[in-house]
A and B are shown apart, each in its own frame.
Chain A
Amino acid sequence: MTEREKSAARPVRRLGDRIFEGLSTSAGILILLTLLGVAIFLTIEGVPGITASPEELGSKTGGKGFFAYVWPLVFGTIWAALIALVIAVPVSIGVALYISHYAPPRLSSTLGYIVDLLAAVPSVVYGLWGLLFLSRELRPAYQWLAENLGFIPLFAGNDNGGVSSNSILTASLVLAVMILPIMTAICREIFLQTPRLHEEAALALGATRFEMVRMAVFPYARSGIVSASMLGLGRALGETMAVAMVLSASGVVTFNLIGSTNPSTIAANIALQFPEAFGLYTNVLIATGLVLFVITFAANFAARAIVERRKDFSGAN
């Protein structure tokens, strides 16, 4: 075989092709490096904060070591996100169902767009709304809760019988509103993908509309609902400004929803402390950011795993 035939057997690779493929590939690799960089740089800057002794950290962390400092924050982060999720999941399923199966079909895309508008509102505006409007409006409701349901530890209020409306319940309500549009959008998409024949079969057998939804739509959409919820949880865990503005936090671990002492969240704590932080305390805050990164990563990873595992049984095939 001559040299000429060999080269003809291979496709021609022009210089432009090589450059273009190189550019595309390196852009992809740059994304890998960025994510690696997030983990590495946070670790580099965070490690001095983790390893520092309580004496070195001094009064900023209340004379505690890193782990004693971060534990109430981790608790607050997860607690606030879970409350938000408990509020948002039923509402978002209801809204998605209304748009996909209950509203007049001509209106449904417009209604979907209206709910999507909630996602367009910047987080700082949510914080503004929560701080200057919602927390004031909710005060009478909290007072009522404390007086009538005060025997439940969740609604114990303050020791003197008063309540605080800048509490974790208000912050979680704002978080619930913030994660509502993304969860609704995913649920709506899944509900709309339910095979038309399943729905019509259920209706033809005499099912009412709710029975049709229960028998045809929900089984089909279950994994979608779970992944929407986990995505919402991830959002709620990392959301900063709404909590930072609404919550008056004092770094305690409590299940009291309407008291004046509330656990802070990692993200809100960083936002409040970082601008004035210096020295070793900066490293401590960056280390708490690393913890938050790990928690949200775990939540997103779990969502993906659940969706992958359920895919085969979802009825999609």
Chain B
Amino acid sequence: MTTTLQRPPSERPDFATELRDSRLPLWLPRAILLGAVAVGLALAFLSPLNIPQAVIIAWLLMWALPIASRIVEGSRKATDRTVTLLVTSAFGLALIPLGSILGLVISKGAPQLSADFFTFSMRNVVGEGGGIYHALIGTLLITAAATIISVPIGLFTAIYLVEYGAGNRLSRWITFLVDVMTGIPSIVAGLFAYALFVIFFGEGVRLGIGGAVALSVLMVPIVVRACEEMLKLVPNELREAAYALGVPKWRTVVKIVLPTAISGIVTGVTLSIARVIGETAPLLIIAGLTDSVNFNLFGERMATLPVFTYYSVKFPGVPPEASIDRGWGAALVLIMIVMLLNLVARAVSYFFSPKGER
């Protein structure tokens, strides 16, 4: 026996309306965005309101979209649009400090850059004039020394972790402690260098090499991490092929593994230099500040760009303008060095990585 359930035609669901809820037109989000931006621009330039106030008003106008969505589309879609607005605003919010910092440093620092600024030290300079030659030399020397200390230690540790350790107890400990080291505050690294050197040189010691040691404490974990990642990427087939040909392990590492990973290692080392070259706190503690050029890492105080910037701005003396301007100039030079190192790192990884991995 069969019964057919015949639904009366009037009760058939109307798919056209049920599946396609009423929706806001597709052009509306874009229109509201453009409208809000236009109003914001108009308020910023044509009314007495200042730029932050105009931005806030424009942002509030954008809430028209979630509100319209709640009325037309219902709460689920409205929540979605609200979150989209919030997430996009968060990104915009993050760009504000970046734009503000770069704009400010470039606009205030660029007028300071001149041949004199790069070739004069601060020796016997009162008021205007003077330059960052001594600080530039100090930064380059201390960072170079830190690199010379950190790269062999970091690279050999990475080789140990990848090639020899193979997850034994010592290598697990090293991995853990390298993680801990990445978390050491930079000022503690400076205090460590001071506490180390004070034992040999007595109280109040200030040495360029101390700054290099402090920077190394910060740099080694970064180098280990970068090199370890790169060595792990080297395919095991390459190593096995070398062993099969009777090549000793150390020659395999030197001739096969390292050349394969070299572009990644150079990139990692360059990025780690970029990370530590802007460090201020440890150098403030152990390298100090001087007005004269000092080429000797092992004697006397040594000026560096970050410390020079700090003192120029925090303790400008009277009148303050010239000193603060020099601070902006030094900050611009520092940022340019860091950005240049980042660019070099990217270029190396782009042009020298093994073929087929780009």
**Which residues of the other chain, A, contact B280 by a CB distance below 8 angstroms?**
122-124, 240-241, 271
Residues of A within 8 A of B349 (CB): none
Main secondary structure of the interface of A (DSSP, over half): helix
A169 vs chain B, min Cβ distance (A): 15
Minimum CB–CB distance from B22 to chain A (whole Å) comes to 16
A289 to B105: give the CA distance in the assembly, Å: 31
B105 near A267 with CB under 8 A, answer no
Chain A CB within 8 A of B170 CB = yes
A89-108 contact mask (Cβ, 8 Å, vs B): 1 or 0: 01111110111001100000
| Contact indicator A44/B185 (Cβ below 8 Å) | no
Query: What is the minimal beta-carbon distance from A48 to any residue of chain B, in angstroms?
Result: 12
Total A-B Cβ pairs within 8 A: 269
Q: Give the residue of B86, B185, B306, B339 whose beta carbon is less than 8 angstroms from that of A267.
A: B185
Q: Which of A21, A27, A234, A286 has the most CB of B within 10 A?
A: A27
- Residues on A with beta carbons closer than 8 Å to the beta carbon of B184: 38, 238, 293, 296
Verify B281–A267 contact, CB threshold 8 A.
yes
Beta-carbon contact of B84 and A210 below 8 Å: yes
Q: A96-132: which have CB < 8 Å to B?
A: 97-99, 102-103, 111, 114-115, 117-118, 120-129, 131-132
Interface contact A271-B180, CB-CB below 8 Å: no
Are B188 and A38 interface neighbours, CB within 8 A? yes
Interface residue from B183, B195, B203, B254 paired with A297 (Cβ < 8 Å): B183
**A289–B84 contact, CB under 8 A?**
no
Give A146 to B339 CA distance when docked, in angstroms: 40
Q: Does A34 contact B (CB under 8 A)?
A: yes
Assess whether A137 is interfacial by the CB under 8 Å rule: yes
Binds A, one of B31-39, B112-120, B161-169, B232-240: B161-169
Q: In this assembly, does B296 line the interface, its C-beta being within 8 Å of a C-beta of chain A?
A: no
Residue of A nearest to B342 (CB): A120
- Please tell me if A7 contacts chain B, counting CB pairs below 8 Å: no
Question: Restricting to A270-316, which residues have a CB under 8 Å from any CB of B?
Answer: 270-271, 274-275, 278-279, 282, 285-286, 289, 292-293, 296-297, 299-301, 304
Whether B174 lies near A296 (C-beta < 8 A) is no
- Pick the residue among B171, B188, B324, B328 that contacts A42 (CB under 8 A): B188
Given A125-B309, A270-B285, residue A240 in contact with residue B187 (CB < 8 A): yes
Whether B187 lies near A267 (C-beta < 8 A) is: yes
Asked if B314 is at the interface of the complex by the 8 Å CB criterion, the answer is yes
Q: Measured between alpha carbons, how far is A292 from B189 in the docked complex, in Å?
A: 11
Q: List 13 A-B contacts (CB under 8 A).
A: A19-B250, A23-B156, A41-B195, A118-B97, A123-B186, A124-B331, A208-B80, A209-B84, A270-B285, A271-B281, A297-B180, A297-B183, A300-B180
Which B positions have Cβ atoms within 8 angstroms of A?
A: 52, 76-77, 79-80, 83-84, 86-91, 93-95, 97-98, 100-101, 104-105, 152-157, 159-161, 163-165, 170-171, 173-174, 177-181, 183-189, 191-192, 194-196, 198-199, 203-204, 217, 220-221, 224, 248-251, 253-254, 274, 277-281, 284-285, 288-289, 306, 309-310, 313-314, 324, 327-328, 331, 334-335, 338-339, 342
